[in-house]
């Protein structure tokens, strides 16, 4: 039985919600662990931001709909980074982005960690995902065998077990390297129908490449850049994704 929680309540599990909101940039807390089970004012303001970002009714409470979204699998990249968000609660449509790759480079190489030993069908999947983004950015990608010298490095590794975070992306400006992390403990689906709890690899890969190319999260559920993993496959760029990538690359 789900019970709504609001300011002043003390209940088991509130600390987990705080942990989640802290992880994804909503809680302005200096504390990053050992959260209490008390529904505090800063939790309330974090919940309000979260509800705005996910087009939920703004109640400031942990209600059922809010909790449903919190409990779904999602991208590990925060929604709010250093106080900035590209989701609803932000008021800027522009995404300032400086490429992390060496200036002037028009072709970026990518490789999957050799120990991950991915199948040919997974390689094709990556190829197609990169190609889809190339069309709207004119940044080209080519597969390489030398992982340690590649511009984009993709690794399957244990993150937080099945569920929770499915992966993340990181742009390292000093090394000039973009990284994609995928949780090896998810039930990844390469081709075919997803069963409950499965994660569609191509949809997540599309999302992570979007991060490498400069996009943050979107509040639009149909967008590739929506942070929550939905059961439906989502590999084609939505109107929202196209609008936002256009603001960075201006490809006609």
Is residue 75 marked as binding?
Answer: yes
State which residue, 75 or 152, has the beta carbon closest to Zn ion.
75
**Residue 213 contacts Zn ion per CB under 5 A:** no
State which residue, 170 or 198, has the beta carbon closest to Zn ion.
170
Q: 108 CB contacts (<8 Å, ≥6 apart)?
A: 101, 139, 140, 141, 142, 151, 152, 178
- What is the helix (H) or strand (E) element at residue 154, kind and residue range? strand 152-157
Q: Measured from the CB of residue 211, what is the shortest distance to Zn ion in angstroms?
A: 5
**Residue 112 contacts Zn ion per CB under 5 A:** no
Site string for Zn ion, 74-103 (x = CB under 5 A): -x-x--------------------------
Q: 133 CB contacts (<8 Å, ≥6 apart)?
A: 139, 141, 206, 209, 210, 213, 245
How many C-beta neighbours within 10 Å does residue 45 have? 15
Considering only residues 39 to 78 of the shown chain, the ones binding Zn ion according to CB under 5 A are 75, 77
Cβ 103 vs Cβ 71: under 8 Å? no
Is residue 87 marked as binding?
Answer: no
Strand, helix or coil for residue 178: strand
Q: Measured from the CB of residue 3, what is the shortest distance to Zn ion in angstroms?
A: 30
State which residue, 6 or 52, has the beta carbon closest to Zn ion.
52
State which residue, 70 or 77, has the beta carbon closest to Zn ion.
77
Is residue 113 marked as binding?
Answer: no
Encode burial over 152-187: b for 16+ CB neighbours within 10 A, e otherwise: bbbbbeebeeebbbbbbbbbeeeeebbbbbbbebbe
Is residue 217 marked as binding?
Answer: yes
Supply 98's token pair.
């400086």
Is residue 225 marked as binding?
Answer: yes
Is residue 183 marked as binding?
Answer: yes
Q: Measured from the CB of residue 194, what is the shortest distance to Zn ion in angstroms?
A: 19
How many C-beta neighbours within 10 Å does residue 218 have? 24
State which residue, 35 or 244, has the beta carbon closest to Zn ion.
244
**What residues make contact with Zn ion under the rule CB under 5 A?**
75, 77
List binding-site positions for Ca(2+).
151, 160-161, 183, 186
List binding-site positions.
75, 151, 160-161, 183, 186, 207, 211, 217, 225
List binding-site positions for Zn(2+).
75, 207, 211, 217, 225
């Amino acid at each position: 039985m789900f019970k709504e929680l609001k300011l002043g309540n003390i209940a088991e599990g509130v600390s987990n919600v705080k942990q989640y909101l802290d992880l994804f940039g909503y809680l302005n807390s200096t504390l990053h662990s050992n959260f209490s089970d008390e529904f505090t004012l800063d939790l309330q303001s974090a919940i309000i931001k979260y509800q705005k970002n996910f087009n939920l009714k703004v109640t400031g409470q942990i209600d059922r709909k809010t909790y449903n979204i919190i409990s779904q699998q999602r991208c590990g990249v925060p929604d709010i980074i250093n106080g900035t968000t590209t989701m609803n609660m932000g008021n800027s449509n522009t995404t300032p982005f400086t490429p992390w790759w060496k200036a002037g480079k028009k072709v970026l190489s990518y490789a999957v960690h050799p120990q991950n030993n991915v199948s040919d069908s997974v390689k094709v999947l990556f190829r197609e995902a990169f190609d889809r983004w190339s069309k709207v950015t004119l940044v080209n990608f080519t597969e390489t065998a030398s992982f340690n010298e590649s511009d984009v490095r993709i690794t399957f590794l244990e993150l937080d077990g099945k569920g929770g975070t499915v992966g993340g992306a990181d742009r390292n400006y000093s090394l000039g390297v973009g990284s994609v992390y995928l949780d090896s403990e998810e039930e990844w689906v390469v081709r075919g129908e997803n069963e409950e709890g499965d994660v569609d690899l191509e949809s997540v890969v599309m999302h992570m490449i979007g991060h490498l190319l400069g996009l943050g999260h979107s509040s639009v559920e149909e967008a590739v850049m929506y942070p929550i993993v939905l059961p439906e496959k989502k590999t084609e760029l939505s109107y929202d994704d196209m609008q936002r990538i256009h603001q960075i690359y201006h490809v006609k």
